[in-house]
């Protein structure tokens, strides 16, 4: 240690900041939020409740035209007590700001849904607990995966025909399917008139592959219980790990009573083109687990339907309707649309000069 001491840069932690006055969550403050919050703000509140934590970069890619405009608006929401924020410790560089739902934001969300905050299932300490969770990187990674899809849809020349239709969090999936299996997320991707729904298993390279393969039995049981065959997408960090995972997954898949109930496709993060303007999981990096007549090599996400011609089209029932039917007796806010409001009002930045808008 004397001859090879740690560099000072590696010891850098949080930068000291001056305390910032924030609004108290009072009845008067709740009344003021009624005219301060825009539809986009309310969408961000719902997304944070659904997915627990989103980074500044993810929120910008999801809802703002530039990082500067997103940073300014998120600072206002923080000062109003609508969101909270933290920065994880990193030894090199600075981590992006991470945002979670704050009490004022939870009160707004509960009021919109006609619930008490307790019925919403919100607790401030639990919301902030994700900052110390050992699954923080995994949660942020799943959000980054779906954010890339939304970013692709926003910048697609044919954006009218490209959209992430649904994005359910791990918590919501556990509420619906937890007695049989617990996917990391559920989603629907629509492009060029083809819509594919899927469960996502997001592998960070730390899970034992045998455990990952063992989940196929749970997905098969879910398909048998519901009568709905839903593809499973397995996302891995490297092509090398993907090759190993495919061997393990294929062995477990062949041992299922009816393998057709669990269509599986894999992809690796390092297969994405780093020079592309908006690389995303929608790119041609997917490979079905079994050989398919319609797929000869890796394909785009929506073309996986060619490999599974036996799959019926996804139902058109809305997320909110299905949640209201299934989420009893414990009520839960409906799943937000993955896509933000397209045309926020001109006053979306909120008042900045009015004395009443100044945090007390």
Read off the CATH number of the domain in which 52 is found: 1.10.10.10
Position 41 in a domain: yes
- This prediction has a pTM of 0.84
Same domain, 209 and 306: yes
pLDDT number for residue 293 = 54
- Residues 106, 146, single domain; the answer is no
Asked if residue 14 belongs to a domain, the reply is: yes
Tokens of 273: 């083109």
88 with 113, same domain? yes
| Residues 226, 314 contacting (CB under 8 angstroms) | no
Could you tell me if residue 346 is inside a domain?
Answer: no
Tell me which of 109, 133, 157 is where a domain ends: 133
Q: What is the mean pLDDT of residues 95-120?
A: 93
On whether residue 331 sits in a domain, the answer given is no
Q: How far apart are CA 331 and CA 325, in angstroms?
A: 10
Question: 222 and 142, same structural domain?
Answer: yes
Assign 328 a pLDDT band (cuts: 50, 70, 90): very low
Are the C-beta atoms of residues 239 and 268 closer than 8 Å to each other? yes
Question: Does residue 159 or residue 281 have the better pLDDT?
Answer: 281
166 and 86 in a common domain: no
pLDDT tens digits for 220-274? 999 999 999 999 999 999 999 999 999 999 999 999 999 999 999 999 999 999 8
pLDDT higher than 90, residue 4: no
SS3 68: helix
Q: How confident is the model at residue 349 (pLDDT cuts 50, 70, 90)?
A: very low
Q: What is the mean pLDDT of the chain?
A: 84
Indicate the pLDDT class of residue 184, thresholds 50, 70 and 90: very high
Q: Are 146 and 126 contained in the same domain?
A: no
Full residue range of the structural domain in which residue 35 is found: 10-133
Same domain, 150 and 128: no
Rounded average pLDDT over 134-161:
88
Identify whether residues 146 and 255 lie together within a single domain. yes
| 333: in domain | no
C-alpha span between 146 and 352 (Å, rounded): 33
Of 87, 118, 133, the position where a domain reaches its end is: 133
**Cα gap 186→151, rounded to integer Å:** 18
Q: Does one domain contain both 177 and 69?
A: no
Let me know if residue 54 belongs to a domain: yes
200 and 263 housed in the same domain: yes
My answer on whether 121 and 155 are in the same domain is: no
Q: Is residue 336 part of a domain?
A: no
Q: Of 224, 239, 116, 109, nearest to 177 (Cα)?
A: 224
Q: Confidence band (pLDDT; 50, 70, 90) for 105?
A: very high
Same-domain pairing of 141 and 266 = yes
In a domain, 347, yes or no: no
Q: What is the mean pLDDT of residues 44-63?
A: 96
Number of folded domains that form the chain: 2
The torsion angle over the Cα atoms of residues 230, 336, 143 and 138, rounded to 10 degrees, is: -80
Domain endpoint, select from 133, 163, 194: 133
The predicted structure's pLDDT at residue 61: 94
Which pLDDT score, from 0 to 100, does residue 356 have? Answer: 38
24-39 pLDDT, tens digit each: 788 888 888 999 999 9
């Amino acid at each position: 240690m004397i001859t090879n001491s740690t560099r000072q840069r590696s010891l850098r932690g949080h930068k000291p900041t001056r305390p910032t006055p924030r609004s108290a969550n009072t009845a008067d403050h709740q009344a003021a939020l009624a005219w301060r919050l825009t539809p986009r703000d309310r969408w961000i509140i719902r997304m944070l409740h659904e997915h627990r934590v989103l980074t500044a970069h993810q929120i910008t890619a999801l809802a703002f035209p530039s990082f500067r405009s997103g940073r300014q608006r998120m600072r206002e929401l923080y000062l109003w007590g609508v969101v909270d924020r933290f920065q994880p410790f990193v030894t090199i560089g600075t981590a992006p700001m991470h945002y979670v739902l704050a009490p004022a934001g939870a009160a707004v969300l509960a009021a919109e849904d006609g619930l008490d905050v307790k019925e919403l299932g919100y607790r401030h300490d639990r919301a902030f607990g994700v900052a110390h969770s050992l699954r923080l990187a995994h949660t942020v990674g799943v959000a980054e995966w779906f954010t890339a899809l939304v970013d692709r849809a926003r910048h697609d020349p044919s954006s009218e025909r490209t959209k992430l239709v649904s994005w359910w969090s791990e918590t919501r999936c556990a509420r619906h399917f937890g007695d049989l299996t617990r996917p990391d997320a559920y989603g629907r991707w629509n492009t060029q008139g083809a819509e594919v729904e899927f469960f996502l298993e997001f592998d960070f390279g730390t899970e034992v592959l045998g455990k990952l393969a063992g989940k196929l039995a749970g997905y098969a049981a879910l398909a048998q219980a519901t009568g709905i065959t839903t593809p499973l997408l397995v996302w891995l960090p490297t092509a090398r790990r993907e090759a190993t995972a495919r061997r393990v997954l294929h062995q477990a898949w062949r041992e299922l009573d009816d393998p057709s109930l669990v269509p599986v496709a894999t992809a690796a993060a390092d297969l994405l083109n780093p020079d592309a303007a908006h690389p995303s999981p929608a790119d041609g990096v997917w490979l079905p687990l079994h050989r398919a007549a319609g797929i000869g090599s890796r394909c785009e996400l929506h073309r996986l339907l060619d490999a599974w011609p036996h799959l019926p089209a996804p139902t058109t029932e809305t997320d909110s309707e299905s949640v209201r039917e299934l989420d009893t007796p414990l009520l839960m806010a409906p799943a937000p649309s993955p896509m933000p409001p397209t045309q926020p009002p001109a006053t979306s930045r909120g008042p900045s000069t009015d004395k009443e808008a100044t945090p007390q």
